[in-house]
A and B are shown apart, each in its own frame.
Chain A
Amino acid sequence: MRHIISILLENQNGALSRVVGLFSQRGYNIETISAGPTEDPSISRITIVTESEGVEIEHISKQIHKLINVIKVSILDENPEGAVEREILFVKVQAMSRAVRDELKSLCDIFKAQIVDVTPELYVLQYVNTSAEIMRFLEVIAKQADVIETVRSGVCGIARGEHALHL
């Protein structure tokens, strides 16, 4: 089952590597990971998407919490009110003919994606949505144009409602 783990930790040397290392050391998988500082620069926040079966997610959560730098851990999808998750996709596509350009523009309008870079031969499209929607968008785009490269930010998530991860 897919889980989204949110981790609040000290913004210190090596803190991220301890979290990542824990996953490989204990045989857990990381599907996506994103990290950055919070409104308090001494604290970082990491969002990890993982696949795990049964009670394993509890072990993962306990092991992360055991890391000395980690302040709080939350499994976002266990929040009764659910969670919001988003990812950013950039996709560079070949856009030479008028027909392709028009088609890409109209798909971007439908999906509420943006064209963020244009050359005579290329478009860079930006799309923000859930991982599942990003996959759908990518499939649709790939049918209309040649994809040169893609990059995804990894999931960034936050709980809906009252639940919050802070000090």
Chain B
Amino acid sequence: MTMMSGAQMLVRSLEDLGVKHLFGYPGGAVLDIFDALLDSKQIERIICRHEQGAAHMADGYARATGKVGCCLVTSGPGATNTVTAIATAYMDSIPMVVITGQVGTPLIGSDAFQEVDTVGITRPIVKHSYLCQSALDIPKFLREAFYLAASGRPGPVVVDVPKDCVNPKKLFEYPPMQEVKMRSYNPTRLGHRGQVRRAAKILAEAKRPVMLIGGGVVLGNAEIKVRALAEKFNLPVTSTLMGLGAFPGTDRHFLGMLGMHGTYEANEAMDKSDLVFAIGVRFDDRITNTVSKFCPTAKIIHIDVDPASISKTVMADLPIVGDADAVLGQFFDAIDELKLERNDAALDAWWQQIDKWRAVNCLKYKTDDELLKPQQVIEAVYAATGGKAIVATDVGQHQMFTALFYPFSEPRKLLTSGGLGTMGYGFPAAIGAKVGCPDACVCLITGDGSFQMNIQELSTCLEFNIPVKIFILDNHTLGMVRQWQRMFYQGRISSTNLNYNPDFVAVAKAYGHEGIFVEKPSELKAAVEKALAMKDKLVVVDVLCDTDEKVLPMQQFGGSMGDMFLAD
């Protein structure tokens, strides 16, 4: 019989759950837990400089590895600092467990020092949350939390641990690991067989089909079956921002990203299609443009593990609730059983039409000898990394340029805050990814605005030797907001200039890293290669970019999928 304190049980539970890396920041309410962590041989601690960073690191770790990311912070401000990161993970359905310290149970509700109602504050942005009442709740709740975070539609789970529950003087018998069973939670894995057969027939008969994939394909590890289905039925494939990489970006079936800044061919194909075969998407407003004008001639087949995502914004003609990979497996069974074959004549005509849209070359842009275009930077990073890097982004123009100009060929290579649109996400997410995938080349593509929102983590990278490569598309402005001001606010530039940036190269050096400044297009290639060649160094590459470059195409407000502003 092993007797342990609550703190020891917490550490042991994490070990039993396979946690190898714990992101976090110490504080009063978690002193006993950090003390117990000293004795763990399995768990490496990565200590951030701001708790938002720790939680984004856990998120980036989860996205890159597919494992549950975990972080530990103290009560009060420690917990509230993670709120943005929890919301980020929630919107993108990322499996993450956030352990927060709490004041002792006798003090709860007394406005004690560093007390905050963490469960209450985070309630709308978690998949679930727990407040431990006793030490023995800790192993039980942690096991449930990891199970909930990773299963069904994944998401963040908060476990709030009051200080008296981890008292090192009170010892308990550690309960052995058991399979988690919850009578109120049974996510659907397999789709309805009849629905799958009906959907398979519709797919085979479609004349102008489009396969639309989203984050659910990445989270559900369904990329192999998605590819096989696209090949079997010669389907054009488009992806949401969250799905990029789940289908090879360089494959001839791939039309690029769709939506507000989607490609002309992807949006036109959606608009004119007779079938949208959607897997693991949620039809958010950055995808659909005006819902009432969305794909007017298309039937919608919608596969998702979360029934609440189906027919939420776009009514599905044929809904299938289930895990993406499992349901696609059922599709292949149905296709064999029903001996379904593709309609080559119709598809050939459809592809000819698509090729005409492709010929518009909607991603063309003008270069300049003196001033770099942000697109060139993404292309240079793509070329130098062979398209193999894990790329984290922040939010704004650089994010869209990355989505459009870095054709990801594998899932879990693009880490980006799609749902919440969190500036400051990218850098800590890149750190988490590098911790989880130490052999991978991890790049951050960021903007001069976003990077400053979590720039303090440069110190974390030095302490824990995390050599990510940082490319700042430095246009001295909040580029996306500026783009809107220029396009929709008569050019009235309000509060978007960033004329007081630090010297980012000097900042990098002050934190003990390397920095390179790129001013001219002619310097770009060598600088990117030099940065990547310094394998063991964090390198900040500050690239001066055109302030006025716009992300195009762009859908017109109030229009259909196909109503877009294009580059001249």
Contacts and interface: CB of A to CB of B under 8 A. Distances in A.
Interface of A: 9-10, 13-14, 17-18, 21, 25, 55, 58-59, 62-63, 65-66, 68-71, 167
Interface in B111-157: 119-120, 123-124, 127-129, 131, 133, 148
B131 A14 contact: yes
Nearest to B308: A62
Given A68-B148, A69-B184, A167-B183, A63 B123 contact: no
Tier of interface size on chain B: 20 to 34
A161 B311 CA distance: 31
Nearest to A70: B184
A25 B185 contact: no
A99 to B, nearest CB: 51
Contact of B308 (A55, A59, A71, A167): A59
B184 A71 contact: yes
Contacts of B184: 9-10, 68-71
Contacts, number: 39
A70 B182 CA distance: 11
B123 A17 contact: yes
Contacts of B312: 59
Nearest to B307: A62
A68 B182 contact: yes
A104 B127 CA distance: 52
B379 interface: no
Nearest to B183: A71
A13 B123 contact: no
Nearest to B182: A68
A113 to B, nearest CB: 39
B306 interface: yes
Contact of A13 (B124, B131, B315): B131
A66 B131 contact: no
A21 B122 CA distance: 11
Interface in B295-328: 306-308, 311-312, 315
A71 B184 CA distance: 4
Closest 3 pairs between A and B when the two form their complex, measured CB to CB: A62-B308, A68-B128, A71-B184
B124 A66 contact: no
Contacts of B128: 68-69
B127 A68 contact: yes
Contacts of B315: 55
Given A14-B123, A65-B307, A70-B184, 14 more contacts: A9-B184, A13-B133, A14-B129, A21-B124, A55-B311, A55-B315, A59-B312, A62-B307, A63-B308, A66-B308, A68-B128, A69-B128, A69-B184, A71-B184
Max chain B Cβ within 10 angstroms of own Cβ: one of A17, A21, A25, A62: A62
Contacts of A68: 127-128, 148, 182, 184-185
7 contacts: A55-B315, A59-B308, A59-B312, A65-B307, A65-B308, A66-B307, A167-B183
Contacts of A21: 123-124
Interface string B148-190: 1000000000000000000000000000000000111100000
A9 B185 CA distance: 11
Q: Which of B120, B127, B184 has the most CB of A within 10 A?
A: B184
Contacts of B124: 21, 25
Nearest to B315: A55
Given A13-B131, A66-B308, A68-B128, A18 B123 contact: yes
B156 to A, nearest CB: 13
A66 B152 CA distance: 11
A14 B307 CA distance: 24
Contacts of A55: 311, 315
Nearest to B124: A25
Nearest to A71: B184
Nearest to B123: A21
A10 B184 CA distance: 8
A104 B129 CA distance: 51
Given A9-B184, A68-B148, A71-B183, A14 B119 contact: yes
Contacts of B120: 17
A58 B131 CA distance: 30
Nearest to B148: A68
B302 to A, nearest CB: 13
